[in-house]
Every structure is written in C-alpha cells, then in structure tokens.
Amino acid sequence: MRAADRSPGEEEPSPAEPLAPGSMPVVAYFSPEFGVSERIPQYSGGLGVLAGDYLKVCSDEDRPLVGVGLFYHLGYFHQQLDEEGWQRETYRQLEAESLGLGAVAGAPLELELGPSTVRARVWRQSVGRIPLYLLDTSGVGNPEELEGITDLLYGGDTEHRLRQEILLGMGGVRALAQVGERAQLFHSNEGHAGFLVLERIRSLVRERGLDFEEALQAARAATIFTTHTPVPAGIDHFPSELMRRYFEGWCRDVGIGFERLMALGHFPGQATEDPFNMAVMGLRLSARANAVSQLHRRTSQRMFSALWPGLLPREVPIQAVTNGVHARHWASPEMAHLLDRFLGPRWDVHGAADWRALNAASDLDLWQARQPGRERLVALARARRERAGGGEGAEALDPAALTIGFARRVAEYKRALLLFSQPERLARLLQDPDRPIQLVIAGKAHPQDQQGKQIIQELVRRAATLSPRVAFLEDYDLELARALYQGSDLWLNTPRRPLEACGTSGQKAALSGALNCSILDGWWDEAYDGRNGFAIPSHDDEADHEVRDRLEAEELFRLLEEQVVPAFFSRPQGGPPPRWMATVRRSLVTVGPLVLGSRMVADYVRRLYRPALEAPLLSASDPHAAARARHGDWGRLERALEGASVSARLLQEPGGPPPGRGSLVEAEVRLGGLEPAEVRVELLQGPLDGQGRIRSGRARAMELDPPHSNGSWRYLGRLEPAGPGQGFAVRVLPQVHGGEELPAGAPWRRSQTGPVPATGAGGDG
C-alpha cells in the first residue's frame, strides 16, 4: 500500500529478511478447491489457484504444511459456447488413480451426517514435498444420495453444499487423525471448511473431558481463518432447519442446545431461525483472522464490525495478508531466465534478492524477454479456436500487436463489458493500422449464474461484430491462464471498487513483464505507485451503477488513448518503446517482491501462525488445563463487566487546557469486582455520525488516578484539540495478554458519547 494512504493500525510492508527454516509450526490447510495442475481440475478460480500456489511455495521452502480437501469426480465444468454464444457446461469423469493419486491404506472413515452415516476414502496427492489429502464418498458402499457428495465442485443445491462442507471440515479433521498427521494449527481457507472447528470441539469433549465452552477455547486458539469475500452475498448461509437436521446430534455430543450452536454463526441480535453465516462462525471460532489485501481488510472490518461492538471498525482484529503467487510457475521461461541473470537463482524467495538490480537490465533485454510469450499466446489461441470448430477472432491475432488480456471468473461486478460500452472508441483503437491492438478475453460463469452467462454471450456477440482483433477463448483453465499472463502486454481489470478482494491474475501477469491497467482495487490499490502501471480512476461515491460505469468507462478510454497506446508505440529510435519499457522495469522492481508467494507465506508465519502458537493458551505446558482456566477467566470477566458502569465528564481547569492541548476527561469506572490490571480503559475521540455515534477516530489509554472508593476507580485522559462535530466517550475492554486478539463477542462497556468542545476549553460534561 502507498505509505501516504496507509490507515492507522495497518501493517507495514513485510520485513526483507527471508523466513528462517523451522520457524513455521505444523499447519493443516483446509480448502474446498486446489488448483495444482490443469491435469487435475479440482479448482474453479482464484481461491483454488491460490491454495495450489500456497502448497507449492511451502514445498519449495520445505515448510511443514499438510493440505486437506475433497476429490470431485467430475471436477469443475468444461466450457463450450453454442452458436448463440451461450455457455454450455460439460463434465468428464475423473479417476483418482489415473491422475497419480494414491489411496490411503485402511478402512474408509465414517462421519455422522445428520440422520445418516457417510463413508469416505482418502486419497493422497503429493504436491512436491507437501501431502494433500482428498476425501471421496464414491465407491465405498454409500447409498446413492451420499455417494454423490463429492461429485462436482460447487454444484447441487444448498443441502448438497452443506454436506460437502461438513465432509470437508469435520471429515477432514478425522482424515488427518486417520493418516497420523498431527497439526499444531488449523487454517481454514474461506468459510467453506469452517466446520473443522466443530469436529475439534467434539473431539476435545469426548476424548479430553472438557466441557463445551472449555473445548471452544482450546479449539479456537489453534484456528486461523482467512476471508476472501468482500460482499455479504458471497458468503455461505445455511437455513436453520438444515442446520438442525445435520447438527442436532453434534449438539447432544458436546452438551449444548441448538440455540448455542446457531449463535456461533450469527451477528449479535439475530434470531435462532436466521440463516447460519459461515464467515461469522469463522471469525468467532478463530484465534486470528485475515483478509487478502489491505483494502479488503478495511472492507472486512466494516462488514464484520458488529461482532466487536466495543471497537471502532478499523480496530476490528482482522489482519491483512495480501495474496501472492508461485512465481516460477507463472513467470514466462524467458522472464525467469532474465531474473536469474540479474537477481540470482533465488529471486522467487522473499527477501533473498534485491529487485532494484533489474535497473541494470536494458530496454532490449526486457523487450526480447517479452516477445515469445505473445507469440505463444497467439499460437495457443489459434489452436484452441481450431479445436473448438473455428470461429471469429483468433486467426486474426498478430504476434506483434499491443495485446490486452482480460480473463477471470465472469461476474457482474467484474464488468467485463466496460471496455465495450463505447464501441466507436474501441473500434477506432482496434482498427488503427499504424498502431495495431488486439484484445484476448477468457472466463467462465458459474453454472447457476444466468447473468454471468448473459455477459459472456454479449461479449461473444460484440467481439464478432466489432473487430477480428477481438478473441474470446473458451474453457479458461490453468494452461490458458498461463499463456494469457505471459503473452499480454497490458492486463486489464475493471471491478467495482472495493468488490475485488485481491485479484491475483494481475500479479501473475506482472511477473512476465505485463503492465497492469486496473481500478485501484484489491492488491493493486497497495502496489500502484504512479509509475509502475496504470490506475483507472474510480467514482466510489456514485451510488447509481449505470452512472458510475459510464464515468469509469470514460476514464478507461482516456487512459488507453492518452497514455497506454502512445507509450507502447512511441519508438523514436526504431527499437523498444522507451517509456513503456521504463514502466515495465519499474513494475518488475516494485511489484515483483510484493507478489511472491514466498512473501505471502512469510506474512502468515509472522503475523498469524507464530503469534497464535506462542499465545499463552497454546504455549502452556498443559493446554487443556489452560483452556479450562481461560473459560473461567472469560466467564468471570463477562459477569463482572455486565455489572460494570462507566461515566465520563469534562473537567474545568484553571485557565483552560495547556496550549495546544484539549480538554481533560475524568471517567468514573465501577469494575464489578475486577482489578484495573484486568481491563483497558480508553478515551475514544472522533467525528460523530448522524446518530451521534463515533464510527472512526482513535483510542488512547487513560491513566488510573488512585485511590479508589466504594468499588469505583478514577481515570484521566486528555482530548486532542478538534473542530466542531467531534465527540468523545470512554470504554472498558478486557485486557488481553501475550499478543492474543480480542475475541468476537468480548464483553465491554462504554460511556455515553459527548461533544468535544470546539475551542478546546474545559467544561462540565
């Protein structure tokens, strides 16, 4: 993130030193999809490809990781477009053994699935040195309705999805025990695997003799949760009647009522009958949580702030670990050779190379490394179109043209049609004989996303009527993605900010020397520095989507016409374009270190894994005894703070506050039997919203002013000088120790909000 734009409390850039071997605890990494290879299509898009890259990086660096997922016999669909350009889905039966997976010895595991019991075999896939265990319900004697649980990725109805997620999370924990893998931490990649914590709670109750609340503390302490979703509609929700059918037995096993279970997946104040929110459960049951970019962190903090009503949104304990990619897998062979030459053979290891050494590379070095990728993309595009039975576009592609790539999951908010919204201007760009430009597009819509399919149909129609230099390539997969990243000169991304959580496709393209041209969303918001690519100005405050799209399309075309095209084709000496190559060099130097998957793993270790493992509960000699004590401590804190009270007032000072200082605030706090060392008493100050509440601002610790009397403690704090419209309040929160995060739903108390004197003078509150 640009330093000037970094909000208070946001992480600084990662330290430059490499991550030491042995510094990572043993982590079980759960994900509903893994994009390891196009040969094994167990992925649909960015989430799965990220998970595959995570395993590959950990393998390269010999990190103690184990993956857990499902084996889908039909995988994800293959895309075919009919004569009308409508997406049709076809599936191919996959056989695990023919794909190189090995069956884990022993009887199939069994798992309670509502009123039934499902059996699942476990396959082992080796991702380098990392074992990936995949559960499979076929061929082990299940009834027909259970046999097909692992049929295809993201298919079926809500109940089918629930069954898959129970198998992934709860069955995955049992699979690890069955194969003898002992993890120290459990990492849920999105909420799909969140039920893993419920299985660990059940195991602690059954096998260790903890009660439910004690087991919750112990299981939570070892859980990491990553959210990838910037909009509530993208989160899995399950109806209460389904939850009751599938989890009543679990509730009996752990000794709680159904209402207590449902509360784990609800915001405060929701009714038991409301749908169960998997992201809310993920946050309630994890010791540490993260978003996947700095901007996504701020979005997530606002989305989930109701879980921490005592905190300001920016204080919500969701960290940012910006996604990265497995660099050597995605960089073109030519660019990888150039990086080897200038940076050394360990350029893909975080902190092991100084990317500024690329400033010594000449324009010709960089230009020559770029050309073969474009040639391969054109050849692949032609071959795919021929294999698909011909069609418009690919045969007209030119290996020497400025190539714009746009490829991703097709969803409305990604706005694949934005570039086509002004056809006359786009036609002028595409049809310029002196400055040849071509556009290569790919993407799939979810089988149930009719709007996404309509967008694809419209893309195909417009491509066919606009110019032969526009090609839509069917069946977007890892092979095509790699060719697009390596062959595009400009990588286009047009989401509505801030709806792109990260968007790693632009990272992969950048590693081969492509320039990003994107809305400042996801990772690009923190990577763009004004000289390393192109930023499409966004009009976030415009509520009308049609107006906003029109404004941002205008910004995009202005950028293409006035900056992108002139820079690429300005070649005063007849050689490589100097302005373009300067931007490519700057992109590699600044973007390269950020997008390394090695940097991402290092961030997880430093910011989430090690702090979780070193927290008092997990580092105790007897973690289960510590869990019992923790539950007792939190119960006592909650009961005491329910009876606590806070009142605050402005104090008069002779002659007013000192120069340059604000008013003095006195707080009277009744702690209900707690000691001051057990709480944090803080002075909040910030602008008041329309309801007279403080939604942003800052908090500062107040000083205890002993002695106390009648169970009341006196605290003092000083406001900062402020103009009109500011308010203050005093809050009391539990004190956390050892680097732990404040858990969702932690007890708190706050005084009423009062106005800050605009002049800074004191007065009665």
Rounded CA-CA distance 155/75 in Å is 10
* Res 740: pLDDT: 87
Rounded Cα–Cα distance for residues 277 and 264 (Å): 8
For residue 399, which phi and psi values (nearest 5 degrees)? -65, -10
CA distances from 440 to 314, 433, 453, 463, 562 (A): 40, 18, 18, 10, 21
The tokens describing 601, both together, are: 């793993």
Task: Give the confidence band of 393 by pLDDT, cuts at 50, 70, 90.
Answer: low
Backbone φ and ψ of 524, nearest 5° = -65, -25
Give every CB contact of residue 556 below 8 A, 6+ residues apart in sequence.
418, 419, 494, 517, 536
Domain residues for 505?
327-595
Residues 299, 316: Cα–Cα separation, whole Å: 11
pLDDT digit string, tens, across residues 687-740 = 999 888 999 999 999 999 987 777 799 999 999 998 889 999 999 999 988 778
pLDDT of residue 33: 97
Q: Look at residue 38 and tell me whether its pLDDT is greater than 70.
A: yes
For residue 4, being part of any structural domain is answered with no
Cα(122)–Cα(176) distance, integer angstroms: 10
pLDDT of residue 759: 59
Do 245 and 343 belong together in one domain?
no
Instruction: Name the residue among 199, 48, 208 with its Cα closest to residue 127.
Output: 48
pLDDT digits (tens, 9 = 90+) for 258-284: 999 999 999 999 999 999 999 999 999
Report residue 414 as tokens. Answer: 């990604």
Distance separating alpha carbons of residues 379 and 392, to the nearest angstrom? 15
Q: What is the CA radius of gyration of the chain?
A: 28
Residue 655: per-residue pLDDT:
86
The region that residue 399 occupies, defined by phi over 0 for left and psi between -120 and 50 for alpha, beta otherwise, is: alpha
In sequence order, what are the residues at sequence separation of 6 or more whose Cβ sits closer than 8 angstroms to the Cβ of residue 733? 310, 311, 679, 680, 682, 742, 746, 748
Whether residue 580 lies inside any domain: the answer is: yes
In whole angstroms, give the CA distance from residue 28 to residue 49.
17
In the chain, how long is the greatest CA-to-CA distance?
88
Beta bridge partners of 109: 120
Looking at the fold, whether 202 and 342 belong to one and the same domain comes out as no
In a shared domain, residues 377 and 452: yes
Instruction: Flag whether 174 is in a domain.
Output: yes
- DSSP label at residue 239: -
In a domain, 624, yes or no: no
Among residues of the chain, what percentage have pLDDT more than 90? 86
749 and 611 in a single domain? The answer is: no
Distance CA 305, CA 302 (A): 5
State how far Cα 709 lies from the chain centre.
49
At 10 the pLDDT is 55
Q: What is the C-alpha to C-alpha distance for residues 523 and 230, in angstroms, rounded to an integer? A: 13
Are both 150 and 232 inside the same structural domain? yes
φ, ψ for residue 490, nearest 5 deg: -130, 130
Judge whether 14 lies within some domain: no
Q: What pLDDT is stored for residue 15 in this prediction?
A: 64
Confidence check: pLDDT of 101 > 50: yes
pTM of the model: 0.95
Under the banding of pLDDT at 50, 70 and 90, the label for residue 56 is: very high
Q: What is the pLDDT of residues 300-333, one digit of tens each?
A: 999 999 999 999 999 999 999 999 999 999 999 9
What HEC string does 385-409 produce? HHHCCCCCCHHHCCCCCEEEEEECC
pLDDT in tens, 438-452: 999 999 999 999 999
The residue-averaged pLDDT of 176-180 equals 97
Number of domains forming the structure of the chain = 3
The confidence score (pLDDT) of residue 735 equals 92
- pLDDT in the model for residue 394: 63
Could you tell me if 588 and 513 are in contact, meaning their C-beta atoms sit under 8 angstroms apart?
Answer: yes
With respect to residue 763, please indicate whether it lies within any of the assigned structural domains. no
> Which segment of 392-401, 469-478, 596-605, 617-626 scores lowest on mean pLDDT?
392-401
Cα 668 to Cα 672, 714, 747, distances in angstroms: 13, 5, 18
Same domain, 300 and 407: no
Last residue of a domain, one of 619, 652, 686: 619
Instruction: Return the percent helix, strand and coil in the chain, to nearest 5.
Output: 40, 20, 40
Q: Which helix (H) or strand (E) holds 81?
A: strand 78-81
Does 765 have pLDDT greater than 60? Answer: no
Tell whether 294 and 152 lie within a shared domain: yes
Task: Give the C-alpha separation, 34 to 14, whole Å.
Answer: 26
For the domain that residue 652 is a member of, what is the CATH number?
A: 2.60.40
Confirm whether 104 is domain-assigned.
yes
Exposed/middle/buried for 624, CB within 10 Å: 0-12, 13-18, 19+? middle
> Phi, psi (5° rounding) for residue 593?
-65, -30
Residues 182, 313, single domain; the answer is yes
Q: Over the stretch 219-237, which tens digit does the pLDDT of each residue have?
A: 999 999 999 999 888 899 9
Calpha distance 623→605 (Å, rounded): 21
Estimate to the nearest angstrom the gap between the alpha carbon of 396 and the chain centroid: 38
| Average pLDDT value for residue range 346-374 | 97
Separation between Cα atoms, residue 556 and residue 609, nearest integer Å: 41
User: Is there a single domain that holds both residue 337 and residue 309?
Assistant: no
* Beta partners for residue 346, in sequence order: none
Mean pLDDT of 529-544: 97
Backbone angles phi, psi at 11, to 5 degrees: -65, 145
Query: Is 715 buried (19+), middle (13-18) or exposed (0-12) by CB count in 10 A?
Result: buried
Name the average pLDDT for the chain.
93
**Is there a single domain that holds both residue 433 and residue 480?**
yes
Shortest CA distance to 520 belongs to which of 528, 508, 512?
528
Q: What does the pLDDT look like over 543-558, one tens digit per residue?
A: 999 999 999 999 999 9
Q: How far apart are CA 75 and CA 44, in angstroms?
A: 9
Residues 347 and 275 both lie in one domain: no
CATH number where 119 lies: 3.40.50.2000
Q: How many CB atoms lie within 10 A of CB 695?
A: 14
Structural domain ending residue among the three candidates 556, 586, 619: 619
Angle, CA of 238, 273 and 145, to the nearest 5°: 35
Let me know if residue 496 belongs to a domain: yes
Contact 75, 82 (CB under 8 A): no
- Residues 492-509 have pLDDT tens digits of 999 999 999 999 999 999
The 10s digit of each residue's pLDDT in 363-372 is: 999 999 999 9
Q: How many other C-beta atoms are found inside a 10 Å radius of the C-beta of residue 495?
A: 22
* Domain match, 562 and 614 both: no
The per-residue pLDDT for 388 is: 67
